[in-house]
Amino acid sequence: MKKIYFKIFLIFSFFLYQNSVYSKVNVEKEFNQKYLSNYFSALFSFNNNNNVQALKYFNSSKFLIDKHDSFLKKYIFSLVENRKVKQAIKEIKLSKKDKNRNFFEANILLILDSFLEKNNQNIEILLSNLQTFQSEDVYEVVIYETLKSYVDLFGKKKISKSKEDFGKFSLINKAFQSCYLNSKKTDSLFLNLINASSSVRDYSRYLFFYLSYLLNQGDKEAVEQISSTIDPINNGLLISQTKIWIDSQNYKKINKIFSCANEAHLLGEFFFLIANLYSAEEDYVKSNFYLNISNYLNPSFYFNMYLLAENYYLTKNYNASKNILKKFNQSEEVFYWHKIKRISKIISEQRDDVQSLNYIEQKFNQIKKPSHKIIFDMANTYKNFKKYNKAIELYTNLINQIDDTSEIYADLLYKRGGSFERIGDYKNSDNDLIKSLEIVPEDPYVMNYLAYSWLERKYKIDVALEMLKDAYEKKKNDPYIIDSVGWAYFLVEDYEKAEKYLVQAVELMPNDPIVNDHYGDILWMLDRKMQARYFWKNVLKLKDTEDFMKENIKIKLLKGLNKI
């Protein structure tokens, strides 16, 4: 009997054990599936710019941090994207697998942590590692070489000679490093950089850092003299705001947000430049990564975050963009106005143009004493929304306050002249545009606008053509000028020359309705009617085609060009 009970006990125990093991395997399977599901949700959210949700899913799947090779890298990017740089550094340090943290950005974060901790020995080791992780990305080479030069600068208090020459990038670093050392060369280096600005590359931003340097030298007289020469309208956000600070003698603000003597500030500005480069390449993930590092190193320079708001806007992450823009308040007039303009554009994207204009108009009217720049921007906004009479009123307001021999005055006449032309007031339009050319002779854009206006009216066609030829010689790659020259040849019935220019214009602006319409007309006159109809039909599909043009195109498709 005891043997029978013992056998029953063994059999029961076996099944119990089997069920227990099966249950354990099932639990582990469900356990891993849950983490994997959260991980995939994190990746999906991150790739769709839902950064807060992505981090939430990453945090809930951290079990995989040492089990999935690419988890740590994705997690670090998500943490930095959410401005949790300290936590990102901590997670890298806690990672048990060296293999998982062997990527370029992880080493960047560890190097910066060592910089802030003044751990020079660790920096040397990490820099050596960093060199091995460089990809074919040219900016990673720049980052490595620049960080190496800053190690020498901060440790040995000297500027090292680099074997690599990165053009203007090297010049920028040399200016900042000379400023750090308080070198006598700082003045000339910054001035050479600022004077190197062109229509292709704008280095005017560095005027802010030069003014900051002069303030630290106690040379307020030079600062005020330079400020008096700054264009109050056609300048970037930082320089326009800086002019307001200087004019109101708010020098503390400039000193507070940046100092060449502060090592973290120098590194922060370097990474802001890197973020700009990635943004220009439309690599917004890396741009945001380096922007948040820049902000971590110098949170006082929060004005730089406007680029993060812009990156979010360009990727249609409008809520994230608005959250960043909240930082800009009315005490910083220029950045506050930039916020209003950007939110207005977001309203246009999410709702409609009417609500967008109502919003910006209401905010503009609430500003008691708007600067020239804000009035100019509002005039341009009215013009873009085809509220030409309101635009003319604001342009006139500025014209009455500006030196009538300056380039700004000429630009205002050009803008107002264009608005007069749009409402059919050709007399005032011609007067403004001609006067603008008297102040800045042979400005290609003003010549193009005036000449094209004459072509549209079939007025002074021969003079207009010669004017356009001059404009073309100055701006051979401008598609609007190329189109105008081609259209002028069309009007003088030189269709072969007209086609030569319009082909270029279509290649440069394939989605412009006017250019496509012009090209269709030229093809028709060259007896290439099938091709002409193709381009006319294309005009009907383009989103920017105005209703009156659509009606004309429909007639041309039915009856041909000569029946218009």
pLDDT tens-digit readout, 35-71 = 677 776 877 777 777 777 778 767 777 666 666 668 8
- Nearest Cα neighbor of 300 from 343, 268, 340, 278 is 268
**Distance (Å, rounded) from C-alpha 48 to C-alpha 215?**
45
Please count the other Cβ atoms lying within 10 Å of the Cβ belonging to residue 233: 18
**What's the pLDDT at 4?**
52
**Average pLDDT along the chain, 564 residues, taken 10 residues at a time:** 47 45 43 67 76 76 68 92 95 81 91 91 87 79 92 90 79 95 94 79 90 95 94 90 94 94 96 96 96 97 95 95 93 94 96 96 94 95 97 97 91 97 97 97 95 92 94 94 94 95 95 95 95 95 91 92 67
* The predicted structure's pLDDT at residue 306: 95
DSSP 365-390: HH-SS--HHHHHHHHHHHHHTT-HHH
Task: Determine the pLDDT at residue 203.
Answer: 84
Q: What is the pTM of this model?
A: 0.84
Take residue 119 and report the two structure tokens written for it: 């751990």
Closest CA to 134 of 103, 168, 171: 103
Cβ partners under 8 Å of residue 363, min gap 6: 340
Interatomic CA distance for residues 255 and 326, integer angstroms? 23
Handedness of CA 395, 401, 404, 407 (dihedral sign): negative
pLDDT of residue 13: 47
For residue 443, what pLDDT is reported? 95
266 closest CA partner among 137, 172, 345: 172
Q: C-alpha dihedral over 291, 295, 296, 297, to 10 degrees?
A: 100
For 449-482, what is the HEC assignment?
HHHHHHHHCCCCHHHHHHHHHHHHHHCCCCHHHH
Using alpha carbons, select from 521, 517, 501 the residue that is nearest to residue 563: 521
Residue with tokens 């069309």: 490
Query: With contact defined as beta carbons under 8 Å apart, do 268 and 298 qualify?
Result: yes
d(CA 342, CA 349): 11
The pLDDT score that the predictor gives to residue 263 is: 96
User: How many Cβ atoms sit within 10 Å of the Cβ of residue 554?
Assistant: 12
Print burial letters for 157-180: b (CB count within 10 Å at least 16), e (below 16). Answer: eebeeeeeebeebbbbbbbbbbbb
In this predicted structure, what is the pLDDT of residue 32?
A: 61
* Helix H or strand E encompassing 65: none
Q: Which two tokens stand for residue 202?
A: 């704008």
Q: Distance between CA atoms of 543 and 511, rounded to whole angstroms?
A: 9
